[in-house]
Amino acid sequence: MNLPANTPLTTPLRSRVAVIGGGPAGLMAAEALAAGGAEVDVYDAMPSVGRKFLLAGKGGLNLTHSEPLEPFVGRYGERAEALRPWLDAFGPQALRDWAAGLGVSTFVGSSGRVFPQEMKAAPLLRAWLHRLRGSGVRFHMRHRWQPSELQADTPSGWRLVFDTPAGRHEAHAGAVLLALGGASWARLGSGGTWLAPLAAQGVGTAPLQPSNCGFDVAGWSPHLAGKHAGAPLKGVALHFTDRLGRAFHRKGECVLTVTGLEGSLVYAASALLRDEIAASGAATLQLDLLPDRSLDELTQALARGRGARSLANHLREQAGLHGAKAGLLREGVDAATWAAHSRDAGWLAARIKALPLTLVAARPIDEAISTAGGVLLESLDKHLMLPTHPGVFCAGEMLDWEAPTGGYLLTACFASGVVAGQGALAWLGTGVRD
């Protein structure tokens, strides 16, 4: 396994570590633990591990990003400095080297995103599980952990209770590593039901919220929703400044939905938009439908004689604007205002360059790509152990951090698994605790 040089590789452990959760963070923790000599049991409620990982890889598995480490770290927003040690321990290049060690080569796409050569998650996961089993990791499927029954069981360590198809199962471990995921895509095994029981046991938590999600507007017109729902909005720019003066400006793509907007450009701004809606009840952004044309150039083009041509034809010929983009221009404008200004080139150009859209709600958490909230990082030590529960470690999306799509989510999940796995080894005496 291509782990960092400081990974403990000493006398094999006699203690057992229970890893609960078979996503990327849990599997990476299991690998770090096995490499350090631990006896590792991975428990998961689903029939197989890595289900969300596999689904995410169906359209091309975006493992990480090729940008330099400093801007990479900055993608984690307010949690950037807290996550820096994770990425120092196992960063983007280490992840690519690790994949290569599994026989999976990677390449950098035109956007800087890093993908497996085959663009699929399944070959990587198969090779990974084969290596994990070869290192002695044991897998226990259809074992749903009962967090309310987590109990210290000195000298055995921790007592764990699982519901299984065969009935209640009890296990004991010297250390426990939780990698329970967030609350999005619950059908794949992670519904966030662990949050309340852990909070009841004194673990500091924040409510789970949707991240990298779509949003609803106050309501599209039946015409726009009926004709253009599902249409991509390519080559647009999103501008938003929240009540605290925090600004987002980026060019990209999004999709018009029946209820609002979704897609990579919207996901990138989702944390700011979500928090603004929570604080103010709504968030109004500006969408530049033609970011490659200046306001003056566009105004001059639209001022050219329209004659008897329809507005739709005029916009298509002079601005290259048609379809969903053209349909958006009419949204939210009453009939009198539209009649008064639709022949005004300056008014049309200004609206094209800064179309106001008011978002009123994030889409439900189960539809989100990821979640924010969970176990507070302030509740953990630097090894990702809960001081209130010595010997219990946490990793992955169940922790309170978030990041945009683009490989940042997966990289931090993998990295947190390495850090937590090494922390558990140190706790059990195979590494140095400082």
Sorted by sequence, the CB contacts under 8 Å of residue 372 that are 6+ apart come out as 206, 208, 209, 210, 211, 271, 274, 400, 401, 402
Over the stretch 380-402, which tens digit does the pLDDT of each residue have? 999 999 999 999 999 999 999 99
Q: How confident is the model at residue 151 (pLDDT cuts 50, 70, 90)?
A: confident
Q: Is the predicted pLDDT of residue 214 greater than 60, yes or no?
A: yes
Crossing angle for the helix pair 311-319 and 295-303, to the nearest 10 degrees: 130
Q: How confident is the model at residue 9 (pLDDT cuts 50, 70, 90)?
A: very low
pLDDT of residue 66: 97
* Domains and their CATH numbers in the chain: 16-211+370-427 (3.50.50.60), 215-362 (no CATH)
Indicate the SS3 state at residue 330.
helix
Contact present, 328 and 173 (Cβ < 8 Å): no
Q: How confident is the model at residue 430 (pLDDT cuts 50, 70, 90)?
A: low
User: How far lies 364's CA from each of 9, 208, 214, 256, 434, in Å?
Assistant: 44, 11, 9, 17, 42
Q: What is the mean pLDDT of the chain?
A: 92
| Residue 228 backbone dihedrals phi, psi, to 5 degrees | -120, 0
Facing residues of 378 across strands? none
- pTM for this prediction: 0.89
The mean per-residue pLDDT over the stretch 122-146 comes to 96
Give me the amino acid identity at 328.
L
Over the stretch 45-54, which tens digit does the pLDDT of each residue have? 999 999 989 9
Give me the amino acid identity at 123.
P
Over the stretch 228-270, which tens digit does the pLDDT of each residue have? 999 999 999 999 999 999 999 999 999 999 999 999 999 999 9
